[in-house]
Amino acid sequence: MDGDTLGRMAYLVLLLVAVGGWVMVEYRKRLGMALRTAMAWGLIFLGVMAGYGLWNDIRQDVLPRQMVTEGGTVELPRALDGHYYAQVDINGTGVLFLADTGASNMVLSRRDADRLGIKTESLVFAGQASTANGTVRTARVTLPEVVLGPFRDSDFAAYVTDGEMDVSLLGMDYLRRFRVEIDGGKMILSR
């Protein structure tokens, strides 16, 4: 064990002694109530942990998801934050994009570029893009295959940014390939 781990363990032991001492003093004549309270908090803790562990399964039902209609259109439901998100397959790997009509290009975050096997450390960030967070450097890449629902594009030009981005952006150079309609809380993409 290194010094940091030992220090953290000592801190947790002291915290446990302090809380345990308080419980013993507070509930010294009501041990049954102390046990019931401890069990209630334990169950609350287990419930939170179970919810956290099952979130990936639960969110499919809680959060809206895109769908392909029988007519061959892709419907992106408006998320709780008011934006539209699209799950796009790039070379067989799913990437979540924010549909951004204010962005000129398809822009990949560094994390998504790494997931796609793009060697970001060897990219030349010679371009620049103006964002709401200021100017960022970009590097142009070519994506061999981009698939959104039934729509497939080959050799699509995109950019990787060296700026901080939580989600990749699906800009107008990709969206203009579609007829874009917003209706009833859905963005509908068709060709």
Give the integer Cα–Cα distance in Å for 114 and 130: 23
Sequence-distant (≥ 6) Cβ neighbours of residue 175 within 8 angstroms = 99, 101, 189
* Cα distance between residue 158 and residue 143, in whole Å: 7
Q: How far apart are CA 132 and CA 156, in angstroms?
A: 25
The amino acid occupying position 96 is: L
Q: Where along the chain do its domains lie? A: 3-60, 66-190
Asked whether the beta carbons of 69 and 191 are under 8 A apart, the reply is no
* Mean pLDDT, the chain, integer: 87
Q: Residue 102: phi, psi to the nearest 5?
A: -90, -5
pLDDT digits (tens, 9 = 90+) for 133-166: 778 899 999 999 999 999 999 999 999 998 888 8
Quote the percentage of the chain above a pLDDT of 70: 94
Token pair 């994506």 in the structure block, residue: 143
Mean pLDDT of 176-186: 91
List all residues 6 or more positions away from 164 whose beta carbon is below 8 Å from its beta carbon: 133
pLDDT of residue 56: 66
pLDDT over 80 (residue 1)? no
CATH number of 66-190: 2.40.70.10
Give pLDDT tens digits for 53-101.
777 666 655 556 788 888 889 999 988 888 999 999 999 999 999 998 8
Q: Look at residue 127 in the predicted model and tell me its pLDDT.
A: 87
Give CA–CA dist 142/5, Å, rounded.
45
